[in-house]
Homo-oligomer: A and B are copies of this chain.
Amino acid sequence: MLDGFFKSNNIAIIGVSREENKIGRVIFESLLSKFNGNIYPINPNAEEILGYRCYPSIKAIKEKIDLEVIAVPANIIIISINDCIKKKVKNIIIVSAGFKETGNSKLEKRLKELLLKHKINAIGPNCLGIFDASTGLDTLFLPVSRLKRPKRGNISFICQSGAIGSAMLDLIAGENIGISKFISYGNATVIDESDIIEYLANDKSTDVICAYIEGANNGKKFFSTLKKTAAKKPLIIIKAGITKEGHKATLSHTGSLAGSSEVYNAVFKQNKVIKADSLQEIIDYAKIFANIKKIHGNKVQIITNGGGFGIISTDSIINNNLKLACLSKKTTALLKKSLPKTVIISNPIDLTGDADNPRYKLALSSCLKDKNVDVIFLIILFQTPLVDENIVQDILSLKNKKPIVVVSAGDFFTRAIKQALEENNIPTYAFPENAASSIRKLLEYKGKK
């Protein structure tokens, strides 16, 4: 059902303005930036925009149109859809708002009937549309200066709310986390969350699915989709509107019929859906699931250059029902022999504030080889000058199949190194709590706890 969207070659956009910052115009520019297919801007009052020939209507385009993006006002939407029907366009993204979410249920109903009658696959209305990091197919009407696009990766993200979706994409891009496909589906008039999740469950370039859901269009369909999907790949969901008041707010947003949060929680638990309680948790969990495929147990070894971080990490690990690994005698002896006396060889291993890259390398390689260790909790505080950006290569040169998560808190210098680690599929966190709860979620999902 969604394949036609993502494999589109010829895309038309209705409502491309000559004025910058207008919705249709920004969509046109988003598509121009990286998409390799053909783009057809439609505007009856312009001959050309940005050097591209403009068409007065979709009927004036000779070529077959695979996907049409509609950004016209709600009151003329039916005319646009009728044009699409005549042109036999089968995939439509309706960005326009002003339907059931603003009380205009009559228009929404009329739209739905028309789309269903002509078997048109439609995303929206009241949505941002789609973004595919690998093909550059990008219908987001938010400019790159405001919303940085993430690099290519294996996480797909579906989002009922365009605002949540756009803020999350921007944050994810800032952390240098990769995205496969992004779908903002708004009112879910034809294609709903279940259709999208099912599509992503079968999508080979998606390893992890994240979803922001206000409510399911069709509860039975949704729950059966969850069951099928979560058995195939990690599915992380935040359900919004969990309080009575929050639920009320969903009605005037996407007009969702939400069930009680207890029902959702129970279904999530039953079906191995990974429940996120905040947007931060979605990001935290997504990166560990995207990067770590195997984890053998819950014995965590902390390596740090700051004692205090070691202590709060210990607290976080215990509070998340993980265990502190107990290094073998061989590892302990080797480290004691090779490292300065001030270093504390225990769990945490405290390499202390004057730790440099070689000291980290030695500790990391020994712990990676130690059979008593399942996961490395690698704290690196880059405020101390003897450890530097070359540690990224050191970590990569040693990496075996044992999971490593990096905890590192700081501003510019730190952020750049964390981006380099994320580039190389090492999940990074600012604070121990986030890293420990992510490890816990991964173990729970893998049935190792």
A residues with CB within 8 A of B? 21, 26, 97-98, 101-102, 142-143, 145-148, 159-168, 170-171, 173-174, 212, 214, 238, 240-246, 248-250, 252-254, 277-280, 304-312, 314-315, 317-319, 324, 341-342, 344, 346, 348, 350, 352-353, 381-386, 409-414, 430-431, 433
Contact B414–A381 (Cβ < 8 Å): no
5 nearest CB pairs, A to B: A163-B306, A161-B308, A174-B411, A253-B307, A164-B308
| A to B CB contacts below 8 Å, 16 in the list | A97-B352, A98-B342, A102-B344, A146-B410, A163-B306, A166-B381, A166-B383, A168-B409, A170-B414, A171-B411, A245-B324, A246-B311, A246-B314, A253-B307, A278-B433, A279-B431
Chain B residues with CB below 8 A from A411, complex form: 148, 170-171, 173-174
Q: In the assembled complex, which residues on chain B have CB atoms less than 8 Å from the CB atom of A162?
A: 306, 308, 353
Which B residues are CB-close (under 8 A) to A243? 314-315, 318-319
User: How many copies, total?
Assistant: 2
Complex Cα–Cα for A430 and B172 (A): 13
| B-side contacts of A382, CB under 8 Å | 146
Given A142-B383, A163-B383, 16 more pairs with CB closer than 8 A: A26-B385, A142-B384, A143-B385, A146-B382, A147-B410, A161-B311, A163-B381, A167-B306, A240-B312, A241-B315, A245-B324, A246-B318, A249-B310, A249-B311, A252-B346, A278-B312
| List of B residues within 8 angstroms of A143 by Cβ | 385
Q: Tell me, in angstroms, the Cα distance from A435 to B192 when the chains sit together.
A: 31
Most buried by B among A242, A254, A304, A410: A410
- Cβ of A383 and Cβ of B315 under 8 Å apart? no
Instruction: Assess whether A163 is in contact with B353, with CB atoms less than 8 Å apart.
Output: yes
Q: Which residue of B lies closest to A315 (CB)?
A: B246
Q: What chain B residues lie within 8 Å of A249 (beta carbons)? A: 307, 310-311, 314, 346, 348
- In contact, A310 and B170 (Cβ under 8 angstroms): no
CB of A212 within 8 A of CB of B101, answer no
CA distance A169 to B69 in the complex (A): 47
CA A96 to CA B291, docked complex, whole Å: 40
**Closest Cβ neighbor of A302 among chain B residues:** B249
Q: Is the CB of B324 within 8 A of A163?
A: no
Q: Which residues of B contact A409 (CB under 8 A)?
A: 167-168, 170-171, 279
Q: Which residues of B contact A159 (CB under 8 A)?
A: 308
Q: A161-B309, A342-B97 are in contact. Are A167 and B350 (CB under 8 A)?
A: no
List of B residues within 8 angstroms of A412 by Cβ: 148, 174
Question: Complex: how many Å from CA A173 to CA B413?
Answer: 13
Contact A252 B410 (CB under 8 A): no
Please give, as numbers and ranges, the residues of chain B lying within 8 Å of A241 by CB-CB distance.
311, 314-315
> In the complex, which residues of chain B have a beta carbon less than 8 angstroms from the beta carbon of A315?
240-243, 245-246
Give CA–CA (A82, B16) in the complex, Å: 80
Chain B residue contacts of A174, Cβ below 8 A: 410-412
Residues of B within 8 A of A97 (CB): 342, 352-353
Q: Given A143-B385, A174-B411, A411-B170, do A312 and B246 touch, yes or no (CB 8 Å)?
A: yes
- A309's partner among B167, B305, B307, B410 (CB-CB below 8 A) is B167
Interfacial chain B residues near A21, Cβ < 8 Å: 385-386
